[in-house]
Amino acid sequence: MASSRPGGILIGMDAKDLRVSDAEREHVGGLLQRAVGQGMLSLGEFTERMDTTMAAKTRGELNSVLIDLPGMQIADKELPQQLPPSPSAPTSITGTMSNVHRKGEWHVPSHLRLKTKMSNTTLDFTAAHLDASVVEIDVDDYCSTLTLVVPDDATVDMNGLETVGGTASNSVKTGPPRGRVHVVVRGKTRFGTVKAKHPFGSVFKKMGF
């Protein structure tokens, strides 16, 4: 039978059965992004492993997405209170009763945090400069409209987005990732609207008009 010691750690408990925190999940997400950048994972593999990471509850589940990545597995020892932050901290975009637009040749980090209230936000990726081929967007919204405009070959995954009294519409392929950008949208919108689409006129271009 496992016994406890000061600090609440159970002596004799297998490290793989210990619970993990949100900070640790975010840290592993950063490691997976690094693996994509180094060519060790495809975008499709990244998406699958990120889904597993965000749902992981124990050290064993979290390590399963890193086990075949050289030098990236977390050692089987007692967990610190908090792992170091992701290599690139998310960039925040905020707005309250505002119009927020990012378009043209703007700089897009690999991780965006969007916090809006009663705002109209447009993020246009068609001519943007991307830090990575996978862009994660964490949404925390009340009563706003978020529009994502992506290139014709882009993919957008909204499976991690929760809507409360709102709508989420995706006119873009969800995957597997195949173009220069794959956008992953997570978080929650309350009485708001989130939509992903291609630029106006894309359909006509494909038809030869």
Structure confidence at residue 204 (pLDDT)? 44
The radius of gyration of the chain from alpha carbons, rounded to an integer in Å, stands at 19
Residues 103 and 158 in one domain: yes
pTM confidence score: 0.59
Tokens for 51, please give them. 């889904």
Q: Which of 79, 109, 126 delimits the end of a domain?
A: 79
Residue type, 46: F
Rounded Cα gap, residues 65 and 88, in angstroms? 20
The answer to whether residue 36 sits within a structural domain is: yes
| Cis amide prior to 80 (ω within 30 degrees) | no
Residue type, 153: D
The answer to whether residue 18 sits within a structural domain is: yes
Structure confidence at residue 78 (pLDDT)? 40
Structure confidence at residue 14 (pLDDT)? 67
- Residue identified by tokens 């030098």 is 71
Tokens for 185, please give them. 């949208």
Residues 134 and 45 in one domain: no
Residues 110 and 161 in one domain: yes
Rounded Cα gap, residues 191 and 143, in angstroms? 5
Structure confidence at residue 195 (pLDDT)? 97
- Residue identified by tokens 């290599």 is 87
Tokens for 130, please give them. 């991307």
Structure confidence at residue 202 (pLDDT)? 57
Q: How many domains does the chain divide into?
A: 2
Q: Which domain holds residue 179?
A: 91-206
Tokens for 148, please give them. 């994502």
Tokens for 92, please give them. 């925040």
* CB atoms near residue 176 (< 10 Å): 13
User: In Å, what is the CA distance from 204 to each residue of 152, 197, 207, 208?
Assistant: 12, 14, 5, 6
Structure confidence at residue 71 (pLDDT)? 65
Render each residue's pLDDT in the chain as its tens digit; 209 residues: 444 444 444 455 566 778 888 888 888 887 888 787 777 888 888 888 888 989 989 888 888 898 888 766 655 444 343 334 444 456 899 999 999 999 999 999 989 999 999 999 999 999 999 888 889 999 999 999 999 999 999 999 999 999 999 999 999 998 777 788 999 999 999 999 999 999 976 544 554 54
Structure confidence at residue 90 (pLDDT)? 64
